[in-house]
Amino acid sequence: VVDATIYFWTHNTPIAAGQYTSNDYAIYNYLGGTGTSSAPNTGVNSSVPNGKIAAGQGFFIKGLSNGSATFSNAMRVVGNNDQFFRMQSPSISSDTETTSSEKHRVWLDVVDQQGSYKQTLVGYATNATMVIDRGYDGEYLNVGNPVALYSLTNTTTALSIQGRSLPFSDLDEVPLGFYAAATGSFTINLYDFDGLFFNQNIYLKDKALDIIHDLKQSSYTFRSDAGTFNERFVLVYRNQALNINSVS
């Protein structure tokens, strides 16, 4: 009846002329969460969703078919009732989902010169596949962000959270989509990683400039025209320039 990705509205931009903005959402599913952790603005939320919805917290989910969504007391837990997405900045909380599933994850975000940003998550997990999976893939919502970063599936579906199958291969490549409302300078950061990625290189391939950049060494700053670019960037795990066979 419903998808298993949850979206929380966040107050990422201060009130202007008495108006709130609706430009960004913190997102959570079985793979993990993306949030507002790298927001350079002050007074915004700084949390990644931890899998627990506090009493009074608004959220929404995508309907998949006609039917009834049922909430029951079995879904309630004691405690974990202090993470809110609103004007005040809550304490930073980690993903506290308790599960025996294997996960290896990479969080990336993009920031523009005005401080607008967007975060995306790519991970390899038990029960995830290379196609769209309920609970492991969360769609990217275009709600007017000045800048956006998301991953793409083989079907070109834009995702804010993408789960991919195990076992992991360092030959895997994940296409990334980028959007900018205006021409300018932008920075892609490696916000966080876990699992096997502690011992695995993480690179960003810029196909437009023929560059493979080591995100563990530094963030990647580039210029771009306004528009949507789904062919420029790829998340890779090998620097192919280091793997060219020498000619004898």
Q: Mean per-residue pLDDT for 123-131?
A: 94
Plot region of 73 (φ>0 → left; ψ -120 to 50 → alpha; else → beta): alpha
Asked if 33 and 51 count as a contact pair (C-beta separation under 8 A), the reply is yes
Cα–Cα distance for residue pair 72/70, rounded to 1 Å: 6
Q: Is the dihedral of CA 188, 192, 195, 201 positive or negative?
A: positive
Q: For the whole model, what pTM was predicted?
A: 0.79
Mean pLDDT of all residues belonging to the chain: 83
Q: Give the pLDDT band of residue 180 (cuts 50, 70, 90).
A: very high
Instruction: Report DSSP state, residue 172.
Output: -
Q: Which residue has the tokens 């931009």?
A: 13
Distance CA 86, CA 81 (A): 14
17: left (phi over 0), alpha (psi -120 to 50) or beta: left
Q: What is the mean pLDDT of residues 99-111?
A: 87
Dist CA 78 CA 51 (whole Å): 14
Supply φ then ψ for residue 152, to 5 degrees. -125, 140
**Average pLDDT of the segment spanning 117-122:** 92
- The pLDDT of residue 193 is above 60: yes
